[in-house]
Structure 1
């Protein structure tokens, strides 16, 4: 097998693993119960209006795509995981939102160049393993003068720290895969987009989370619902010492951030104009 063929085979295997990971647990519940405000905020900050042609990349169950459609935009939601798309369709029907749902890879979007007025992603594209490839696709499908809008967890914020806490217990990433929270670093995002965008506005902001009254409540919710956490626990299920150690690490992390029944999770909001 040629080196190129081997690389293609490995990439397909990695994407299949990612697809399966996000089907674990109950990510739609995470999106609706924990972060429902992030999607509407991204829609507002991206200037989405009636008639805007919008692509939501790594859309999950539509936490940004559905609010965009409810504004009156012409929306396509694309995601790697069919189970999330199906959950999104059901949620959109419940909310009276009309939009298109497409299965697709953020690193190889099934759309033509300059096909959208606004290209956005709400804590989604950050999980594509090859950051430059994904960024290139965001830019490619956005028309000149169009808007790119992103919300991503920061490395220093709570979710970035959670991934750092899980890392010692997770299988090693394949060569070339980059950590998701890097997308929450302004310098990294500017480097990925380069001079193909102008008018970059990047702001670190805090999301208040008041769903958990105790650190263990957070841990058990994520063990049950959040695909990446479910997958890490599955990988160490046969090692009680590691399970106990990760249980402690996640509860300790939550304890450091939980005050009066609430936590604040930091994210980076980025908007930019596609250069002509």
Structure 2
């Protein structure tokens, strides 16, 4: 690749990352994480086996639902994210919990940490949204010491959140070349390929989290359209087309209504843990 081509690629990548940052800064993802999925962070940290004294990196940490539980176990923790606008809510939550950790702006595809810097590197429904999966997985491997642990928890393509993204796809702009769908990180074979021979003790388990906040599809859709960056972005794109807006409303309502049961919605995720060679 020539220098000119490299410059264009770099500029395109910067523009894409800026778009991602703005998307996740919109709405109120920290409130959503607190309201719906905070329990997933401690579950991931427990599965990885984080202990007091461990050096832990949380990649695409958001407001810290994995980083804070790791710090409460006595680990030395860095919570990193492309969108530092999410950190203020995380810092407040950490103070309330009595957790001490570092918050660091960082691109998951170019982590600003040296090789072998951490005993454990984790991500809870975060790194899956980095656009180039091979880059971000390679970075997680690079910064984790040999014998250290990697743990990722991601929505599956077949589960509710994966189906929500599939529902929104026809209303969204086509992704740039080379950008991979986030829910692929919830596919066992895909994650095995990403980490490959660089890890041992690879484990991938499908589990679900119960979401009992919504009693109708409409209430789910209204909440996500005001809180969740990817949903907000799609609605903004079609805001001037009332037919498209009505069609997306109906599609999301139908999807959620079909999933709501007496015990609440069941959202499936893939929990992966592995040891770095």
SS of 1:147's partner is: strand
* TM-score computed with the length of structure 1 as normaliser: 0.99
Write out the 4+ residue segments of structure 1 that deviate beyond 4 Å after TM superposition: none
Who is 1:263 aligned against? 265
Who is 2:11 aligned against? 9
Who is 1:143 aligned against? 145
Who is 2:47 aligned against? 45
C-alpha deviation, 1:261, in angstroms: 5.7
User: Where in structure 2 are there 5+ consecutive unaligned residues?
Assistant: none
| CA deviation string 1:42-94 (max 9, x = no partner) | 00000001111100000000010001111111100000001112221121112
Q: Over aligned residues, Cα RMSD in angstroms?
A: 0.8
SS of 2:100's partner is: coil
Who is 1:107 aligned against? 109
- Give the Cα–Cα distance (whole angstroms) in 2 for the partners of residues 126 and 86 of structure 1: 22
1:173 to 172, 175, 183: 175
8 Å Cα contact 1:64-1:121 kept in structure 2? yes
Who is 1:30 aligned against? 32
SS of 1:34's partner is: helix
- Give the Cα–Cα distance (whole angstroms) in 2 for the partners of residues 108 and 256 of structure 1: 40
- Give the Cα–Cα distance (whole angstroms) in 1 for the partners of residues 251 and 69 of structure 2: 35
- Give the Cα–Cα distance (whole angstroms) in 2 for the partners of residues 10 and 87 of structure 1: 30
8 Å Cα contact 1:202-1:271 kept in structure 2? yes
* TM-score computed with the length of structure 2 as normaliser: 0.98
Who is 1:133 aligned against? 135
Does the alignment pair 1:59 with 2:74? no
SS of 2:178's partner is: coil
| CA deviation string 1:142-201 (max 9, x = no partner) | 000000000000000000000000000011111110000000000000000010000001
- Give the Cα–Cα distance (whole angstroms) in 1 for the partners of residues 164 and 179 of structure 2: 18
Who is 1:235 aligned against? 237
Who is 1:251 aligned against? 253
Does the alignment pair 1:210 with 2:212? yes
C-alpha deviation, 1:26, in angstroms: 0.5
Paired residues in the alignment total 275
Does the alignment pair 1:185 with 2:191? no
SS of 2:79's partner is: strand
Who is 1:98 aligned against? 100
- Give the Cα–Cα distance (whole angstroms) in 2 for the partners of residues 270 and 259 of structure 1: 28
8 Å Cα contact 1:129-1:179 kept in structure 2? yes
SS of 1:2's partner is: helix
